[in-house]
């Protein structure tokens, strides 16, 4: 078994079937330069030479986020040759969109805990964790690929919940057979730290932030080992299964290099540093199993209880973001903080105000109100009780940055739903605020939760409506619209570059 690292969470898994023929499964599909949901750039960027790149037999899409589901790459692949598209059952609602645009893809739904054999001697299985909370990654399916001797397990964009039953389920999933190697591909996502550090232009200030950030993340990493000792009778320690080894995948995104050529050099807690910390912790807690990180463009042989680097991925040119020179250069680089929209919608244009007003009321009463009233962690009732005027209020600006009017929409215990309070002049208390154009874009599929990277947000506001609109299983229609828009954009010659970079223009 060979794992070809393509950067971010994309891995091409190559195994041989019982006849000796190679089978290659690509786990997740974001290989374009830009993510059209986040309006962010891949880090590292990879370029594909299709003449040399190995032929892909199947693509597995783990969930609905745009840094995993790439309509542009999938269309490119479908135009070249046929392949099997494996979807978790949580994405079954997107089948009509895929069928409309990926004519050479054979779609198969993979159910939770189902084992599927695409070729003799090869088994693909999916595991969906059952979490207690409500989030925007509830549709993630983790993946196991095995060839009868070794297996690779990809954590993807989630973490095993600290719930005994789910930990037991994962241990059973990994130890259902006596594998020679269990290669656990763990995800490390330092997006929050990187976004903050990119906003700090001065190197000395950046170093202060980085020191504290690394300390906090180190404590979290240590807890991932310590919890097994503290809850020894409750949590099964899957790291002790025979043949266990681990690779770390880094889910790195960055503001486009077109904004600042040095921005790619600045990454808080890059994978080599994560690996050093993890190895020290593993030794401290008596878990001295083999560990490495996945470097884009490098291939890893999974065999005999470890994953070893065995060369480069054919047909892939990747940025060397973890080279010694790159890591050293990041220390003293001065950055120009990315331009965010402090007071303008992403698409600063005149629109139909009456239509938007109706839409805002529909979103508040049809999607937001019931969701937040039922939210055990951030309850709308409690927010009203804590407010100074006994109401929860959303302010919306209609128009452009040069000419706009403000309307507020409020809910209190005397109302059966949000009501429009009318045009507002002067100061008025509100809990969150938006441009009507941005809310309309979200509804039509051209913005999403992580498009807020474009916006300069008020740290005192909650932006709960924006978050609710991306809650999994509550807004399937919006996800459908988003991907239908981008598949159609691609079919007309559109590129992710054109779509993303316009968002940063003043």
- pTM of this structure: 0.95
Provide the pLDDT for residue 330: 64
Provide the pLDDT for residue 342: 62
Pick the last residue of a domain from 306, 321, 336: 321
Say if 74 falls within a structural domain: yes
Question: Quick count: other Cβ atoms within 10 Å of Cβ 228?
Answer: 19
**pLDDT tens-digit map of 43-62:** 999 999 999 999 999 999 99
Provide the pLDDT for residue 194: 86
Provide the pLDDT for residue 496: 95
The span from the CA of 307 to the CA of 5, in Å, is 12
The span from the CA of 55 to the CA of 22, in Å, is 10
Do both 312 and 359 map to the same domain? no
Do both 38 and 150 map to the same domain? yes
Say if 197 falls within a structural domain: no
Say if 489 falls within a structural domain: yes
365: its two tokens: 């009463």
Do both 317 and 358 map to the same domain? no
Question: Quick count: other Cβ atoms within 10 Å of Cβ 276?
Answer: 11
SS3 for 298? strand
Provide the pLDDT for residue 329: 63
Do both 306 and 406 map to the same domain? no
Round the CA-based radius of gyration of the chain to a whole number and report it.
24
Tell me whether residue 277 is exposed, middle or buried, using C-beta atoms within 10 angstroms of its C-beta: 0 to 12, 13 to 18, 19 or more.
middle
Q: Which long-range contacts (CB under 8 A, 24 or more apart) does 261-266 make?
A: 262/333, 262/334, 262/335, 263/198, 263/335, 263/338, 264/43, 264/44, 264/319, 264/321, 265/326, 265/329, 265/330, 265/333, 266/194, 266/197, 266/198, 266/206, 266/330, 266/333, 266/335
CATH of residue 248:
3.60.15.10
Say if 408 falls within a structural domain: yes
DSSP 26: E
The span from the CA of 156 to the CA of 151, in Å, is 15
Do both 297 and 446 map to the same domain? no
Say if 430 falls within a structural domain: yes
Tell me whether residue 355 is exposed, middle or buried, using C-beta atoms within 10 angstroms of its C-beta: 0 to 12, 13 to 18, 19 or more.
exposed
Do both 403 and 294 map to the same domain? no
Q: Which residues of the chain have pLDDT under 50?
A: none
- The count of domains in the chain is 2
Do both 316 and 357 map to the same domain? no
Say if 326 falls within a structural domain: no
Provide the pLDDT for residue 479: 95
463: its two tokens: 């932006």
Do both 357 and 317 map to the same domain? no
Do both 31 and 85 map to the same domain? yes
- Find out whether 71 and 454 touch, Cβ atoms under 8 Å: no
Pick the last residue of a domain from 321, 339, 373: 321
Q: Which of 453, 441, 434, 435 is nearest to 481 (CA)?
A: 441
Q: Which domain holds residue 416?
A: 353-504
Provide the pLDDT for residue 339: 62
Say if 75 falls within a structural domain: yes
Provide the pLDDT for residue 19: 96
Do both 174 and 49 map to the same domain? yes
Do both 485 and 398 map to the same domain? yes
The span from the CA of 478 to the CA of 475, in Å, is 5
Say if 499 falls within a structural domain: yes
- Find out whether 291 and 274 touch, Cβ atoms under 8 Å: no
Do both 374 and 307 map to the same domain? no
CA angle 170, 134, 253 (to 5 degrees): 80
Helix residue ranges per DSSP H, 146-190: 164-174
Provide the pLDDT for residue 288: 86
């Amino acid at each position: 078994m060979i794992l070809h690292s393509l950067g971010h969470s994309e891995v091409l898994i190559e195994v041989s079937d019982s006849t000796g023929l190679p089978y290659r499964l690509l786990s997740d599909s974001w290989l374009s330069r830009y993510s059209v949901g986040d309006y962010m750039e891949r880090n590292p960027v990879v370029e594909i030479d299709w003449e040399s790149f190995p032929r892909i037999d199947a693509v597995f899409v783990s969930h609905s986020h745009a840094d995993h589901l790439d309509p542009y790459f999938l269309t490119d692949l479908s135009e070249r040759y046929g392949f099997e598209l494996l979807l978790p059952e949580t994405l079954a609602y997107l089948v009509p969109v895929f069928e409309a645009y990926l004519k050479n893809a054979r779609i198969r739904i993979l159910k939770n805990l189902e084992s599927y054999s695409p070729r003799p001697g090869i088994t693909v299985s999916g595991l969906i964790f059952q979490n207690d909370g409500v989030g925007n990654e509830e549709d993630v399916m983790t993946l196991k690929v095995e060839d009868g001797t070794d297996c690779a397990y990809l954590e993807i964009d989630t973490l095993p919940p600290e719930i005994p039953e789910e930990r037991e389920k994962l241990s059973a999933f990994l130890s259902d057979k006596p594998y020679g190697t269990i290669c656990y591909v763990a995800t490390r996502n330092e997006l929050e730290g990187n976004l903050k550090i990119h906003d700090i232009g001065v190197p000395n200030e950046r170093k202060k932030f980085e020191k504290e950030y690394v300390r906090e993340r180190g404590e979290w990493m240590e807890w991932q080992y310590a919890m097994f000792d503290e809850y020894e009778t409750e949590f099964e320690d899957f790291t002790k299964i025979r043949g266990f080894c681990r690779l770390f995948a880094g889910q790195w995104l960055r503001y486009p290099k077109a904004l600042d050529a040095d921005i790619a050099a600045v990454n808080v807690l890059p994978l080599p540093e994560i690996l050093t910390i993890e190895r020290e912790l593993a030794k401290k807690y008596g878990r001295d199993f083999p560990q490495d990180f996945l470097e884009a463009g490098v291939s890893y042989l999974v065999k005999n209880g470890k994953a070893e680097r065995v060369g480069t991925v054919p047909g892939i040119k990747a940025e060397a973001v973890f080279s010694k020179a790159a890591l050293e250069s990041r220390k003293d680089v001065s950055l120009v903080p990315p331009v965010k929209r402090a007071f303008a919608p992403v698409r600063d244009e005149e629109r139909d105000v009456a239509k938007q007003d109706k839409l805002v009321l529909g979103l508040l009463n049809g999607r937001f109100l019931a969701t937040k009233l039922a939210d055990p962690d951030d309850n709308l009732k409690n927010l009203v009780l804590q407010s100074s005027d006994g109401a929860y209020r959303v302010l919306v600006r209609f128009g452009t940055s040069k000419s706009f009017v403000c309307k507020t929409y409020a809910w209190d215990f005397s109302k059966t739903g949000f009501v429009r309070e009318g045009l507002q002049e002067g100061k008025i208390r509100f809990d969150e605020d938006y441009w009507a154009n941005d809310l309309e874009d979200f509804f039509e599929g051209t913005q999403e939760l992580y498009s807020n990277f474009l916006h300069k947000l008020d740290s005192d506001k909650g932006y709960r409506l924006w978050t609710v609109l991306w809650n999994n299983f509550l807004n399937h229609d919006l996800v459908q619209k988003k991907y239908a828009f981008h598949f159609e954009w691609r079919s007309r010659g559109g590129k992710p570059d054109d779509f993303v970079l316009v968002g940063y223009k003043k």
